[in-house]
Structure 1
């Protein structure tokens, strides 16, 4: 009994002295991962040896990283209207699966801190196939809807910078200058009439679960997903809580026209610049 009491005291002391209440975790929408850095220190009165002190601090750092990952995952936007946390509140299955995903986080870096303590960085992918966060929260459509065609009377303009058939490898939607684009796991691209020209129901479900629907880039150096010859269009506004870019009618038709040849939308070679 005395042994159990001592163990309880030790665990409470570790929690009290060894973890941080701060959250150093957030999704990386360019790599489609979530990382958290946990910090741990030791109550010197509990450490029997220097090695034991490091072990306690490491365990505390891992526990802190798990806590932060759970908080970060809860706040991830699945689409413009729904967060992971909202889905967990309405589904025991989602809650159980998300908990298992957080527990499966891997350590990507760790080490002792100068002056004492320990740091552990852990990561989970948002996409990646079976049992991933994406598979848990993105619903498989009953049928795949075809990507729309351009307007029947559409004729693409021919310019030096935008040839009528450019062999484009991907699509970059520039969302800078029109407000802050809120990243989501399942984005939609629309035209000004509200027609959806790109969404998860238009795509191979298994592929988007593995690779995601798009990456979010701060500058052109992060747009590799769109390939070596991307088509670049400027969004005219952001809809649905600033989550979904809207294109002009002409740009939307041009994207769909070019996609008939290159199929970059089906290949999910899409980047949002924000």
Structure 2
């Protein structure tokens, strides 16, 4: 009777299980074949077109424009130094704006509330990217403020190579 109860318990536990050979080894002797293929940019573009990751209706050329502003420092040694530093600040601002348009801006914000009142609020922005071949289309200096207008033209192939992922 003990053996019969043991057999019934054994069958109840393992009734839904199946085994592939001994100790989980596969029963078939077929070998798996690994294929290694070199892929180039044209192959990737074709796959991306098929998967609708690249649209054929993209304009042939895309232009981005940014206006940067820089302030001349008060403690400059000369007017030439003030002008040069203001121009560099304006160019850095314009490049930052172009990178923000191309790659996006990461924003971190934090508020501290104490006694149901806002005590502190802090917002930090960060832009990270590579901007190449931007040109200055306009620049001017008036009342201590240097203004630079930059334009960046990107053709369709370059756009897809850099941003279609």
**TM-score between the two structures when normalised by the length of structure 1:** 0.28
Q: Which has the higher contact order (CA 8 A, sep 6+)?
A: 2
Please, what TM-score do these two structures have when normalized by structure 2?
0.44
Higher-strand-fraction structure: 2
When Rg is computed on C-alpha atoms for both structures, the one with the higher figure is: 2
